[in-house]
Structure 1
Amino acid sequence: MSTPRIVVLTTGGTISSTTSVTLSDGTSSAVRPALGGSELLRALPVDHPAVRALSEAVVEVVDVYQKDSSQLQPADVDAVTAAVLAALRDGASGIVVVHGTDTLESIALWLQMVCPLADYQCPLAVTGASFAADSAHPDGPKNLADALHFVLQDDSAAAVHVVFAGRVLPAWGVVKIATDQQEAFASVSPGLGLRIPVLPTVTLPLRPTPLLAPDTPLVRIVTSDFGDDGSLLRCAATPSPDNPVRAVVVEALGSGNLPVAAARTLCQLRAAHPEVAVVVTTRVPLGTVQAVYGCPGGGAELAAAGIPLSPYLRASQCRMVMLALLQAGYTAAEIEQVFRAAAQCANAHSSIGR
């Protein structure tokens, strides 16, 4: 049996953050990334089963960058992607990406879409922490140990999972649900797993590997609420030289419903600008988006008008899908058809489940 080769890619985030750095005036700073990957590994709980397993593995640490993930830039996404691809080419049997939680679900889904993990039978875990490394009860060491244990256990899960607070969640449909609790992530549809194709008409991973830094498409997220007159949506979604928007994600209410004025505006914009892709999700953290309600602006009415609803992905992950597909050369009409096919697949899955 060959020796496992585990690659740990660090990017900063709360898991590597401390309050030990002081500002120029001598006062304590806010939390900021300060620890590298080697320091994170030294903090692993000694009684965790991953620690013993790691003694029989080759572990390589690559500090890709060190920043708060709210400051993530397109070049950073490309850097993590390149590091994962390099680890795969160099024979990694498991990869752990240590990342900040603010954009963790975005990077996890991106890596699932663009990295050929199944070709190498290599699982990838993304993890982080809710509490800083020097807090009273840091959760990062256990999360990292759990992630390492996961990628050491079984190469049949050659996909991206978020390992956090004792849970292992597929990248598809994972969402951040809390800012101040250890259980910061959940799955939009816990029964989804990897059993159905979430983007059934797309061949993954996307090849050639999409890059974001050279030319990042403008994909806007617009949130709606009661009484929405559609003016914000019109401002955000109308393309112009100053607003070269390529796609819009609409965060609707409930299971995918919009106030009638906002829904009317959305339909008008799609008719006037068919080159701009549109998808509707919800601002609610958990549960599926479905074409259920037939009131004016309801999900059923939106679907009947040809507007795609995203059943499992929330706004940040919808945006990552659109970014990836745009960079892969998909047109607006093709992107919308991808989401419609996903909704059809989800409906069929729900019918079987009932």
Structure 2
Amino acid sequence: MPRNKNNGAVALFFTGGTICMTPLAEHRGVVPSGEFKRLVAELEPHVGKVGLKPVLWSDLPSPHMTPDHMFRLAMDVKKTLEDPGIIGAVVVHGTDVLVESAFMADLYVNSTKPVVFTGSMRFYSESGYDGIRNLINAVKACMRPLPPATGVVILMADRFFRVREAAKVNSLNVDAFEAPEAGPVGYVAGEMVLLTRSPACLAGPDRTLFEPAALEPATPLVTCYTGMDGFLIDQVRLAGAKGLVLQGFGAGNIPPGAVDAVMRMVDEEKPVVLTTQCLEGGVWPIYAYPGGGDDLEQKGVILGGRLSGAKARLQLMAALGAGRTLSEIKKIFASE
């Protein structure tokens, strides 16, 4: 893939994560170290003539990131990419919710410049530390840019994934990310960034982009369990939920005891989006028994396609925050 001819800089947003953590005295665990400058200093000799524009955005462990943090991060990345001197953005992030933060950026950042999220699975002083290599390769993707149609990507262990297809599938391994059913869109081979799909194949349907507005925080995610009744769903409705995402079983099916509570949400014209706990396959209107995907769709529940529950929740928060109507929200999810 050719090098970007623009001699500008890559914006490097640091949000925190394992990549810069060190052991806490007298503890087995690690904590944020605040040593972002050392990380940048180690990166600079490896990226050639391209400039770096470091942004110390935060130093948060990944689980401490909230949807509001993710939204503000997306807005800051979007604004930075408007600078003609910036050729792309790398976001350094903890891996636990890296996919969610990257997906939030994918919902709002409409730049043709590359946006790459990365981090590390091992902490700074741990044997086999993967942080610097991931940073180097993420910058390479901005210098030899991935096609704009890929949207926001995740780079881990020499492989690039479209965030809309990506999932963290292992809690410990260095190679912790996959794109179930899709695979990577590119990988690093020496100094090269190679695509596994042609730009035409990457184009596909246009991804949903939202105008910078706000998120609707009252949008819970409820995971179904065997024998579930309507208690939890009624509680979130009575607490003022503006919408709901359900993680069902299989192709999108929920226990029959929860159906009436779902219908009470639907009757109030609050969007209920159905997803699955399965990593592959997505939801489909196959089953017409009470609580089956077809039964729920006929009753007004929105099928979430191949989106995970976490991604569907962020997309619903964005749609509600942007003032999209119920019919518009159904169209948005119909394209997934």
Partners of 2:297 and 2:35 in 1: CA distance: 48
Query: Quick one: which of 102, 117, 124 aligns to 1:126?
Result: 117
Distance of 1:322 and 1:78 partners within structure 2: 13
Partner of 2:213: 210
Partners of 2:12 and 2:326 lie apart in 1 by 37
Residue 150 of structure 1 corresponds to: 141
Pick closer, same or farther for the CA change 1:313–1:66 going to 2, 3 Å: same
1:93-149 Cα distance to aligned partner (Å, 9 max, x none): 11100011122111111111111212xxx1000011222122222222222222111
Q: CA deviation at 1:269?
A: 2.8
How far apart, in 2, do the equivalents of 1:58 and 1:309 lie? 44
1:137 is aligned to: 128
Residue in structure 1 matched with residue 105 of structure 2 by the alignment: 111
Cα 1:172–1:39 change in 2 (3 A) is same
Distance in 2 separating the partners of 1:142 and 1:266: 47
* Alpha-carbon shift at residue 18 of structure 1 (Å): 1.4
1:29, distance to aligned residue in structure 2 (A)? 6.5
Partner in structure 1 of residue 169 of structure 2: 177
- Unaligned ranges ≥5, structure 1: 344-354
Write the letter of the residue equivalent to 2:287.
Y
Counterparts in 2 of 1:311-322, with a 5 A limit? 311-322=305-316
Shift of 1:180: 1.0
Distance 1:45 1:55 in 2: 8
* Residue 248 to residue 138, structure 1, CA distance change in 2 (3 Å): same
The residue type equivalent to 2:291 in the other structure is: G
2:300 counterpart of 1:306: yes
Residues 199-236 of structure 1, C-alpha deviations (whole Å, 9 max, x = no match): 5xx5x2x22x1245xxx521101011221122222222
- 2:22 is aligned, of 18, 23, 26, to 18
* 2:182 match: 190
Q: Which moved more, 1:313-322 or 1:151-160?
A: 151-160
In structure 2, relative to structure 1, the CA distance for the partners of 1:319 and 1:127 (3 Å cut) is same
Cα distance in 2 for residues equivalent to 1:190 and 1:101: 20
Residue 11 of structure 2: aligned partner: 7
CA 1:337–1:36: 2 relative to 1, 3 Å? same
Displacement of 1:65 in angstroms is 0.6
Aligned equivalents of 2:259 and 2:181: distance in 1? Answer: 26
- Structure 1 residues 217 and 76, CA gap change in structure 2 (3 angstroms): closer
Distance (Å, rounded) in 2 between the aligned partners of 1:146 and 1:99: 15
How far does residue 265 in structure 1 lie from its aligned partner after superposition?
A: 2.7
The secondary structure found in structure 2 opposite 1:285 is coil
1:168 equivalent in alignment to 2:160 = yes
Q: Count residues in correspondence.
A: 314
* CA contact 2:75–2:109 (8 Å) conserved in 1: no
Contact 1:93 1:155 in 2 (8 A): no
Q: Distance in 1 between matches of 2:303 and 2:230?
A: 18
Given the two structures, how large is their TM-score scaled by the length of structure 2? 0.85
Corresponding letter in the other structure for 1:15? I
Aligned to 2:120, what secondary structure does the other structure show?
coil
Q: 1:246 to 1:32 in 2, by over 3 A?
A: same
Deviation at residue 188 of structure 1 after TM alignment? 4.1
Q: What is the letter of the counterpart of residue 37 of structure 2?
A: S
SS at match of 2:307: coil
Q: Is the 8 A contact 1:219 1:322 kept in 2?
A: yes
Q: Does 1:55 align with 2:55?
A: no
Give the match for residue 225 of structure 1: 225
Gaps of 5+ in 2: 186-200
8 Å CA contact 2:71–2:105 kept in 1: the answer is no
CA 1:75 to 1:295, structure 2 compared with 1: closer, same or farther past 3 Å? closer
Tell me the distance in 2 between the aligned counterparts of 1:18 and 1:65: 16
8 Å Cα contact 2:164-2:307 kept in structure 1: yes
In the alignment, the residues of structure 2 paired with residue 220 and residue 127 of structure 1 have an alpha-carbon distance, to the nearest angstrom, of: 27
Matching residue's letter, 1:336: K
Cα distance, 1:87 vs. partner? 1.9
| One-letter amino acid matched to 2:290 | P
TM-score, normalised to structure 1, is 0.81
Instruction: Report SS of the residue matched to 1:60.
Output: strand
Q: Indicate the residue corresponding to 1:249 in structure 2.
A: 245
**Partner of residue 350, structure 1:** none
28 and 323 in structure 1: CA distance in 2 versus 1, 3 angstrom threshold: same
Q: Distance in 2 between matches of 1:181 and 1:232?
A: 34
Q: Identify which of 258, 264, 267 aligns with 1:268.
A: 264
- Identity across aligned pairs (percent)? 27
Cα 1:196–1:302, aligned 2, differ >3 Å: closer, same or farther?
farther
